[in-house]
A and B are shown apart, each in its own frame.
Chain A
């Protein structure tokens, strides 16, 4: 299995042996595949920053206590090119996050799949409804 894996990886041109293709982000160090999670919460802030955007979420536990989570997402720049803006994920939106928790145990996770409560994925469908078309020059 290990050999086959190595061949496929080499063949895909990712050139894993040397830094640059992996260079940007070593998720293996940040998030733990052995800690999958599913969170349901309310957006308190969407940090539209690079290299990754971060969704701040208030998550209410079964005991009613609210904990604050930070969920890692992708660079927002391509979303802007598709007509989304910082207002496309307003405070108060309820979302569901499927992802993996941080290795250091903090209330941080990578959001492998982000959906609204009805299951529809965030940021899908090309241009956002009410997208700010003025953003294009």
Chain B
């Protein structure tokens, strides 16, 4: 069985690579520079109009493959394909140019005991993505999440060890996503996810509302310069307030629920995430974020990607209401223990 899993994963990697040009063909043309013949649309009260439904799906990996070093951008599509082909095999090897699996909420695509995600249109072939020559979502010469503080690494290790022994004890021992409380991709910062990577922005008087399809979570962000809410009120999506800097919406989020995980780490009460939304053309919003948690990572880290407008809307993702899986998993765990 292990061999089958292994060969499936290799097959997935190979298929992903081979389909890279297909993904490239499915994307929107590179956005024109903002200066050319395009004016920022405005809402009736004069603010930049960010409204619409967007796909933030991407094939860009979160972290830059090690073999690319400090290279933040490929020179062109051909360079991207050539780089991937020249990547060292094995560890960290097979590039990131075509790896939807990295954001796959299913955790791995073609594992044997799983439905075929492509049969349900979840494999990414029909998904619209913004064009990009970035080598990673995380920007800067390193292109990866920084190291954590030693005490954080130790605490995380202890937590993992505990989890190994207790992961099936109860619903509350399962990860937040499996409980349908919140998916890690929602953040903020909002990260691309392997499927249903869609969000909608609606701007009302003094507020920008952002709904992410999974799990229908809505941030209603005030832009009137008010302070954050009370620090006692921790939230699954943190407490966001926004303001406009020129034509960029800047959103600051603090007071995360201590169970929230960002880039594989539980964040501290010092965590602050800053997001910047800038419309750069009729179809595209550039999304930038900075994660600053001095009690968790040795330094802040930032990322950037483009989201692209799509036709249609969001569909309801009533995760908790349809979560047969939780009861089934626990029942399966109890049955396995009896053997």
Contacts and interface: CB of A to CB of B under 8 A. Distances in A.
Given A8-B10, A75-B317, A103 B93 contact: no
Q: Looking at chain A's contact residues, is the secondary structure mostly helix, strand, loop, or mixed?
A: mixed
Contacts of A105: 335
A75 B122 CA distance: 8
B319 interface: yes
Given A49-B322, A51-B322, A103-B335, A29 B168 contact: yes
Given A20-B261, A27-B111, A30-B329, A78 B99 contact: no
B126 interface: yes
A135 interface: yes
Given A5-B2, A78-B196, A103-B336, A136 B312 contact: yes
Contacts of B318: 49-50
B332 interface: yes
Interface string B109-147: 001111111011110001100000000000000000000
Contact of A11 (B91, B115, B119, B330): B91
Given A7-B91, A104-B334, A74 B312 contact: no
Contacts of B196: 75, 77-78
A49 to B, nearest CB: 3
A42 interface: no
B122 A136 contact: no
A52 B319 CA distance: 9
Interface stretch (B69-77, B175-183, B225-233, B248-256): B175-183
Contacts of A8: 6, 9-10, 90
A111 B116 CA distance: 8
Contacts of B117: 74
Contacts of B334: 104
Interface in A1-22: 1-2, 4-5, 7-22
A13 B121 contact: no
A75 B322 CA distance: 10
B92 A14 contact: no
A136 B128 CA distance: 15
Interface residues of B, number: 79
B178 A24 contact: yes
B13 interface: yes
A50 B319 CA distance: 5
Contacts of B106: 24-25
Contacts of A7: 90-91
Nearest to B12: A12
A126 B127 CA distance: 11
Q: Select the residue from A24, A47, A52 with max chain B CB neighbours within 10 A.
A: A24
B218 interface: no
B5 interface: yes
B324 A22 contact: no
B311 interface: yes
Contacts of A70: 324
Contact of B90 (A11, A22, A50, A122): A11
A11 B93 contact: yes
B120 A123 contact: yes
Given A14-B102, A18-B156, A114-B115, 18 more contacts: A1-B3, A11-B94, A12-B101, A13-B101, A18-B264, A19-B264, A20-B175, A24-B107, A50-B316, A51-B322, A77-B195, A77-B213, A78-B122, A104-B331, A104-B332, A121-B119, A124-B119, A137-B313
16 contacts: A10-B91, A10-B92, A11-B93, A18-B156, A23-B107, A23-B176, A23-B183, A23-B184, A24-B105, A29-B329, A49-B318, A77-B195, A102-B331, A104-B328, A122-B119, A137-B312
Interface of B: 1-3, 5-6, 9-10, 13, 53, 61-63, 90-94, 96, 99, 101-102, 104-108, 111-117, 119-122, 126-127, 156, 160, 163, 168, 174-178, 180, 183-184, 195-196, 213-214, 261, 264, 311-313, 315-319, 321-325, 328-336
Interchain residue pairs A-B with the least CB separation, the first 9: A74-B120, A49-B322, A103-B332, A78-B121, A23-B177, A22-B107, A104-B335, A23-B175, A20-B184
